[in-house]
Amino acid sequence: MKTSSSVLFVSIAILFAISNAQIEQTKMTPQLTPPTGQHPQVFEKVVIKTLNCQYLLFLPEDYEKKQQQRWPMILFLHGAGERGNDLNLVKKHGPPKIVENKKGFPFIVVSPQCLQGQWWTEKGEILINLLDDIVSRYNVDTERIYLTGLSMGGYGTWTLAAAYPERFAAIAPICGGGERYMADKFKNVPVWAFHGAKDNVVPPVKSEEMVNAINVRGGNAKLTVYPDAAHDSWTATYDNPELYDWFLKHHKNKKTN
C-alpha cells in the first residue's frame, strides 16, 4: 500500500545523484589537439543534479479505505503572490484552499510552491519530476491527470502542458497566457481557459489568442470571460463545480467535447 502525508518534500535525483552539488564531467575525443582544418569531433557531458521543491499534498478522505482505487489528480500552480517558503500562502486560492474544509474532494491535489523571485515557466523540469514522483508513490489514475493554475500559474500551465502534452487529460489556465507557436501541442489536450474582461494585469487577449490558435489547428479549446471581473477570475472559476465535472469527463485516451 502506498503511504500518505499532508506536506511532503521531494528530492529527485537525475541519473545517480550522490550529493546536493551539481557534478559535471566532460569528455572530448580525441584528447590531443587535432591538426588544423575541419575534423569530426565527439562531445559528451554527464550532468548530475538534485531537484527539489516543497508542496502540499491532499488525499481524499476515502483514500485509505479504497486501496485499489485509482484517483484523478489535479496539479495546481499558484500565482506570483504565493511564492516563498511558507506553504500556508499556497492555501490562499484554488484547490488547496477548497480542500482545507472539503475532505471529500474527489481528487488527489498536488500544490507545489515556487520560490521567491522565480517563475513557473522556468520550472518544467522540477514539476514533471514531481509529477513522476507522485505517480510512483500514490494511487493516481494516470489517464486523469489535470493541470490548472492562476496568473503566474496560468502561464505555467500553458508552458508545462505544451512541453508535456502527453501527460495531461485536460488543462484549465486562468488569467495567464502562452505563445501561439505552442498551439500545435494542444491538438489532443482539451483546454478550458478563464479570464476577466477588465483584467489590467494580464490582458484577456492573452487567453483569446491561445484558444483561437488551438482551435484553428483542430484542437478543443474554449474560453470563459467574466464581463465584470478584473485580475481575480480564479475565485469564480474554482468555486464552480462545473470545472471539476468538466475535468472528470476527460481521459487521456478518450475524446470528449
Over residues 52-65, mean pLDDT = 94
- Is pLDDT at 239 greater than 50 in this prediction? yes
For the whole model, what pTM was predicted? 0.84
Q: Let me know: does 224 contact 242? Beta carbons within 8 Å.
A: no
**20-29, 107-116, 236-245: lowest mean pLDDT where?**
20-29
pLDDT of residue 21: 44
**54-63, 160-169, 233-242, 246-255: lowest mean pLDDT where?**
246-255
Cα separation, 32 vs 127, in Å, equals 41
pLDDT of residue 39: 86
Cα separation, 10 vs 26, in Å, equals 28
Comparing 257 with 159, the larger pLDDT belongs to 159
- Is pLDDT at 168 greater than 60 in this prediction? yes
Interstrand relation of 140-150 and 170-174 (parallel, antiparallel or unpaired)? parallel
The three cell numbers locating residue 32: 590531443
Q: Let me know: does 163 contact 243? Beta carbons within 8 Å.
A: no
Q: In this structure, is the dihedral angle defined by the CA atoms of residues 121, 125, 126 and 129, taken in order, positive or negative?
A: positive
Q: Let me know: does 165 contact 185? Beta carbons within 8 Å.
A: yes
Q: Identify the CA nearest to 80 among candidates 148, 149, 146.
A: 149
- Is pLDDT at 85 greater than 50 in this prediction? yes
Over residues 220-232, mean pLDDT = 97
Q: Provide the pLDDT confidence category of residue 40 given band limits of 50, 70 and 90.
A: confident
The three cell numbers locating residue 2: 502506498
HSE toward the beta carbon, residue 189, CA cutoff 13 A? 29
User: How many angstroms from the chain centroid is the CA of residue 131?
Assistant: 8
Phi/psi of residue 93, each to 5°?
-140, 160
Tell me how crowded residue 67 is: count the other CB atoms within 10 A of its CB. Answer: 9
Q: What is the pLDDT of residues 98-137, one digit of tens each?
A: 999 898 999 999 999 999 999 999 999 999 999 999 999 9
Rg (CA), the chain: 20
- Is pLDDT at 64 greater than 90 in this prediction? no
Taken in order of first residue, the domains within the chain and their CATH numbers are 7-11+53-248 (3.40.50.1820)
